[in-house]
């Protein structure tokens, strides 16, 4: 357009109308260039970063559809379609609000507590996505029910329901802590072999919006590990000896831990890893926490555990995390254990393990 106006001026230099239109067009071109320069200076920040959705007020006289706890429901969609049919406008707060993801930690065969999570937080759906961070099975005696429920939702919502592998999605653990025995008691040995094969294909970690890395265990026994290194891991196998990158993702890394079977890592390790990979913080599981979660390393390392009153004897709370918006600021939600049928934890475990629970 600018070229067309400039050509008109050259052909008709005394045409005031053409000159005025050229000046207007030139202003637009300069304005667009200025906006591009600002965008470049701000490293192309997302528009979402400039929104203060939480402090937006829905006026009392607004009678249109509203989100329920920030979530899109079937009722909301029906109300929205009727509202739009009458040529009315959805409130800007509802239009701006983005979906959240819920991160859950270990569930360890506690099926009735899993049902309670869905009761409290809503069933998985396209608008209510979940990520379960490993250790779905073992110890609790309803592991078959837990894993079939989780696999069912993964098949139903493959892009909105995510499962990461934990150290209890491995043969050695399943043989000792009950899942193999439970599957054989409720189905067949062949069924357990099938579960074993599927577990080997589960992802070892997941990066959310290039800001938060989620893995079951922890960080690594050496510096310099990148997200690309994690992507290259051959995960279709049983984990190797301790200290390897795959093993550490499933357990945790650096100095020997108080559990004697893995390692621990400090805030300096977390800081270096986050800085190298341009991440904000990590979320892990793998450990019982009295409150269901724990925030350490100046907020950069979060542990979440979702099996309340672990093994019917620890008395801990369970928790899950909501991540919402462009900053992915974590919101913690705690819950307590619910009753379950009279089947003891570790009922299907190796007999030596059962003695340890007495």
Does the model's pTM come out above 0.75? no
Dihedral angle sign, alpha carbons of residues 180, 186, 190, 196: negative
> Residue 178 class from Cβ within 10 Å (0-12 exposed, 13-18 middle, 19+ buried)?
buried
Catalogue the active-site residues: 168
Q: What is the pLDDT of residue 4?
A: 47
Between CA 336 and CA 119 the distance in angstroms is 13
The tens digit of pLDDT for each residue in 225-247 reads 899 999 999 888 998 765 467 88
Nearest CA among 264, 275, 263 for reference residue 227 = 275
Contact (Cβ atoms closer than 8 angstroms) between residue 164 and residue 135: no
The tens digit of pLDDT for each residue in 46-83 reads 555 566 666 778 888 888 888 777 666 778 768 877 77
Whether the predicted pLDDT of 176 surpasses 70 = yes
Q: Locate tokens 């009735």: which residue? A: 112
Query: What's the pLDDT band for 40 if we cut at 50, 70, 90?
Result: very low
Query: What's the pLDDT band for 113 if we cut at 50, 70, 90?
Result: very high
Residue 15 is given by DSSP the state -
Mean pLDDT of the chain: 82
């Amino acid at each position: 357009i600018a070229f067309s106006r400039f050509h008109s001026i050259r052909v008709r230099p005394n045409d005031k109308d053409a000159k005025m239109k050229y000046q207007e067009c030139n202003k637009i071109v300069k304005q667009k260039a200025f906006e591009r320069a600002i965008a470049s200076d701000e490293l192309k920040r997302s528009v979402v970063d400039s929104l203060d959705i939480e402090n937006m007020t829905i006026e009392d006289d607004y009678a249109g559809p509203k989100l329920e706890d920030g979530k899109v429901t079937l009722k909301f969609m029906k109300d929205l379609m009727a509202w739009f049919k009458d040529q009315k406008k959805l409130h800007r707060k509802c239009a701006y609000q983005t979906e959240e993801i819920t991160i859950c930690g270990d569930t360890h065969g506690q099926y009735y507590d899993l049902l309670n999570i869905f009761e409290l937080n809503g069933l998985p759906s396209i608008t209510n996505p979940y990520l379960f961070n490993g250790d779905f099975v073992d110890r609790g005696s309803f592991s078959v029910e837990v894993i079939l429920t989780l696999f069912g939702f993964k098949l139903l919502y493959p892009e909105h329901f995510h499962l990461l592998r934990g150290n209890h999605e491995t043969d050695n653990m399943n043989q000792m802590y009950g899942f193999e025995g439970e599957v054989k008691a409720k189905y067949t040995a062949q069924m357990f072999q099938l579960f074993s094969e599927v577990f080997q294909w589960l992802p070892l970690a997941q990066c959310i919006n290039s800001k938060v890395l989620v893995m079951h265990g922890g960080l690594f026994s050496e510096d310099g590990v990148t997200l690309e290194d994690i992507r290259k891991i051959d995960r279709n196998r049983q984990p190797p000896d301790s200290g390897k990158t795959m093993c550490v993702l499933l357990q945790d890394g650096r100095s020997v831990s108080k559990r004697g079977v893995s390692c621990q890592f400090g805030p300096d390790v977390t800081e270096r890893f986050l800085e190298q990979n341009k991440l904000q913080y990590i979320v892990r599981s793998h450990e019982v926490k009295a409150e269901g979660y724990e925030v350490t390393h100046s907020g950069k390392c979060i542990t979440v555990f979702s099996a309340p009153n672990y093994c019917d004897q620890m008395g801990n709370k369970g928790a899950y995390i909501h991540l919402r918006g462009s900053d992915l600021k974590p919101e913690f939600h705690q819950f307590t254990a619910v009753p379950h049928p009279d089947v003891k934890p570790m009922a299907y475990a190796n007999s030596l393990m059962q003695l340890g629970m007495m």
